[in-house]
A and B are shown apart, each in its own frame.
Chain A
């Protein structure tokens, strides 16, 4: 099912779409390096020629054609500057346009992948990495013109050096070629430290999250210094790995320096038979030829990062599931048939799901939502096996209030509209009132448009839970799936929320599955499904 190369297709499509801009960037880059090589070569030739002519006497100085070279020098100067500007602008324009399309495509790919992948990626660490991976792809787009610059540098340099004879040209080409090979080898060698740095960062994050989550406990036991020590040790590992990466990149400088020296001096020595102006041109031209390919060679340094980024993005894109065959539409409010616990739930029914922690109550809800894979024959929806249903057919039937549901980094309104994009202002407030959150939202500066911060940081844990509940209440689905909806609420608020829920269910005719281990919600439920009985028996026997 994996489909390697999806990212490549996407990037190739964008390259085709941005062909015009990339072409401009490439040509401009080529002009930049060609002009640089020619500028220095011509200047060297001009000065040396002028010196010889000047030394030969006034007549010969007058006879020296200085107009053409000096005009050429000025032209090349302007050409180089203008082209550099054009290269940058066109290159970034192409990269930004491509990225503005690749980012949403990646998100859509992720949304179409089996939900397990999405859930695995939804930790902060993984999603942050995804962002960096995309940035690596963007940087690659910007650098695409580097190859043009390299080729133009080699072509112009070779042409200039051929004026001095085949030997200087061959020598400069050999040095430049070796330099590129060495840079390629260095890039390969740097991949291992790069990966180690990434692993070290992962370990540091894990330790940091564990310890920073227990600040009160650390303070009580005077362990803050100890914790800082532990994190410090991990941090030192990461810093050391990163030092090796940054320091290793320094070798590119040495390679470039040696190549410049060898190319310039070699070209000069091999042009000794020629006139001095030609030798001067050869030496400076050879030096600039190496300079012109350096941009491309440095780009190789990030090859390891790019390859890993591409592999990860590819993995995401390649996982999109093939669409399941469309089925006859489900009844508006389907019957739910569960094999474990054995139950038949008719539309409008309110059932509680109870059982010890870890027996799979939350998993059951996520399975109904097609957020988890399921074996055939376990759950059917309106008579159709959920394992064979397209995910959207199942999701249409449910409104979910997850136990630790993520809130969008946005406003209260944006979070509520996620469930029902067309809801009116009055419906939003109704849902908030039913979740006993209206007073709190009213008190927020901006009300419905108050910014909640990352994952609802401005709200307390209980308030976040009630906002998640309000969100689920807004969705006009035949079944509500509520996961511990009143956990963390005080008794009075809990009763209020449950009373409102009872009234709402009666009015809408919606059914509900309520996961809970508290007593109060059971009063609403016509039926209690006990889960994990067998597991408990097995545990007692062991």
Chain B
């Protein structure tokens, strides 16, 4: 209650985000809701059948049969509507999640390198947090829309049989809404916090399992178990306080649901007996009286369905906050510069790169002039911004100040020089498929002989000759059977295959032993010929072979 305004704002933004995401469900959203409305109609039919059947029973079974048949059909119809609604909701959820996951994937890939959360965390967002919208779209949204309409449908049907009973139902709604507004708002807020606290404990648990080897190595298992116990016990204590309040609102719902039935039953009974202490304009008979009684529980049923789906809403809101934050990190390059035909000159002028929210600039007022075709090695301590400078040219780091000119083109205008860049990193991308297909990722329409040529130049020849299938050898999901050096050669072949005038190498020999590094260096230098090349490296041996060494502080 201390800061209602920002909370309210945040909630409004969250709701808008969820609404936008749910739009991908298209007409299936509406269908799921519509079927729940039909379920309400069938409920009215069932109540009618009960009342009609009872009235007809006096005349013997022959007269009652049609009503009883209607009852079975209506009840089965309710089940069918609910089933179909669940299926429509599931289809809507499928569409929403597929569309959202695509958005999150695209956003994940466009997050500047320095701001990128760990891959595990991105993966959790794209898979599990998107999955959290399943119940929200499939169950909660249809239930919420139906809860706004079905009670009035029930109210209308009741009014036809007994306007005063309808009045009684409507009258219980007023204190119900008041109670919900008072207790429900606070409870919902508390419940969300409790939900978040629970996810924090789960995260703590997951984290300690993840770091178990370190915990074991330091013999801290007993201490960490005690810490987990303490955290779990503390959370339990707090949670129970919250739940007491949260269950009050569902208690209010139950109470008014039961109260409405009881009031209608007592009123109808006294009306039938003619014993009401006050005059009423209607005089009930068995049929209508029984009808309104059987229908009364349906008045609050949609709200109870909604309450049952409430945790789906909480899960979706928690996910929405995280996914929205992730999307906010993504930067799409304004445009891509057109490809440059030949090795360009690259000029860094007073370049500053500062990631939002960081306490220091990753690169501060950096200047460098690189001639066409020159090979420059960037040396410097970790964290000095070597990789960041390479990512800047790709548009994957923010140019906070200064300018980069590539053959006179401005980075601040182009956004990214990716079309003119070939890249090789320390953890190359290997996808399931043939080696040829992996090499050709940089130019998917490359003819076979050019792929073979690039592979040969990258020094893959011996490895390919050892494999009976050569370039057509299929690599599995994890690129199994490839050594670190071979993976890098594939990445280098990929870089050579793309006819790009700029070559960027990010720690191309890290984690290789001396022998493998020595074999790799000439291949890299051969690939750099005719291209303006920047190598970010820690290796003095590799740097020594560049045209020029630039040290970053």
Contact = CB atoms under 8 A, between A and B. Distances in A.
B86 to A, nearest CB: 3
Contacts of B89: 246
A281 to B, nearest CB: 10
B131 interface: yes
Interface residues on B, range: 35 or more
A39 B225 contact: no
B178 interface: no
Given A210-B429, A258-B76, A418-B215, A240 B94 contact: yes
A22 B100 CA distance: 41
A77 B273 contact: no
Contacts of A227: 105, 109
Given A89-B244, A216-B423, A517 B514 contact: yes
Contact of B428 (A214, A250, A264, A454): A214
Contact of B383 (A89, A257, A463): A463
Interface string A45-62: 011101111110010011
B273 A66 contact: yes
Given A80-B254, A220-B423, A224-B109, A242 B131 contact: yes
A210 B431 contact: yes
Contacts of B510: 487-488
A257 B286 contact: no
Contact of A243 (B58, B90, B294): B90
Interface secondary structure of A, over-half rule:
helix
B516 A219 contact: no
A475 to B, nearest CB: 6
A33 B180 CA distance: 24
Contacts of B293: 43-44, 47
B205 interface: yes
Contact of B213 (A97, A125, A406): A406
A448 to B, nearest CB: 16
A338 interface: no
Given A210-B431, A221-B441, A358-B483, A406 B210 contact: yes
A81 B255 contact: yes
Interface in A236-256: 236, 238-240, 242-247, 249-251, 253-256
Contacts of B212: 110-111, 118-119, 121-122
Q: Which of A58, A128, A269 has the most CB of B within 10 A?
A: A128
A124 B210 contact: yes
Interface stretch (B8-16, B149-157, B391-399): B391-399
A128 B116 CA distance: 21
Given A221-B494, A268-B57, A371-B216, A454 B120 contact: yes
Nearest to A61: B273
Contacts of B270: 50, 66, 70
Given A47-B290, A204-B127, A357 B46 contact: no
B54 interface: yes
B396 A356 contact: no
Nearest to B53: A268
A232 interface: yes
Contacts of A50: 268-270, 272-273, 289
Contact of A124 (B123, B240, B250, B441): B123
A208 B511 CA distance: 24
A265 B49 contact: yes
B93 interface: yes
Interface string B161-197: 0000000000000000000000000000000000000
A223 B209 CA distance: 35
Interface stretch (A148-156, A380-388, A390-398, A499-507): A390-398
A189 interface: no
Interface stretch (A325-333, A340-348, A490-498): A490-498
A185 interface: no
Contacts of B105: 208, 212, 227-228, 231-232, 235
Contacts of B77: 257
Given A215-B111, A224-B106, A395-B217, A276 B54 contact: yes
B235 interface: yes
A356 B515 contact: yes
A443 B261 contact: no
B434 interface: no
A371 B214 CA distance: 10
B83 A254 contact: yes
B383 A462 contact: yes
Nearest to B551: A490
Interface in A399-440: 399-400, 402, 405-409, 418-419, 421
B313 interface: no
Given A99-B232, A111-B216, A257-B82, A73 B90 contact: no
A101 B228 CA distance: 9
Contacts of B285: 51, 55
A490 B286 contact: no
Interface string A337-377: 00000000000000000011110000000100101000000
Contacts of B244: 89
A245 B400 CA distance: 48
B44 interface: no
B374 interface: no
A269 B62 CA distance: 10
Interface string A99-115: 11101100110111001
Given A54-B273, A206-B477, A487-B511, A47 B265 contact: yes
Nearest to B284: A51
A418 B61 contact: no
Interface string B107-127: 011110100111111111011
Contacts of A256: 79
A220 B210 contact: no
B317 interface: no
B273 A284 contact: no
Q: Which of A235, A355, A460 has the most CB of B within 10 A?
A: A235
B50 A489 contact: no
B484 to A, nearest CB: 6
Given A96-B239, A489-B538, A254 B513 contact: no
A235 B101 contact: yes
Interface in A158-205: 201, 204-205
Interface in A106-140: 107-108, 110-112, 115, 118-119, 121-128, 130-131, 134-135
B354 interface: no
A506 B275 CA distance: 102
A92 B131 CA distance: 25
Given A43-B261, A124-B124, A232-B101, A264 B134 contact: no
A119 B124 CA distance: 20
A369 B382 contact: no
Given A73-B262, A99-B236, A205-B123, 14 more contacts: A48-B286, A104-B228, A104-B229, A122-B211, A208-B122, A210-B431, A222-B419, A239-B101, A254-B79, A258-B76, A261-B46, A272-B64, A357-B516, A409-B204
11 contacts: A80-B254, A108-B221, A124-B206, A212-B105, A247-B87, A268-B50, A268-B68, A283-B50, A398-B217, A462-B381, A488-B538
Nearest 8 CB-CB pairings of A with B = A257-B79, A261-B75, A462-B382, A250-B86, A253-B82, A220-B423, A406-B211, A214-B429
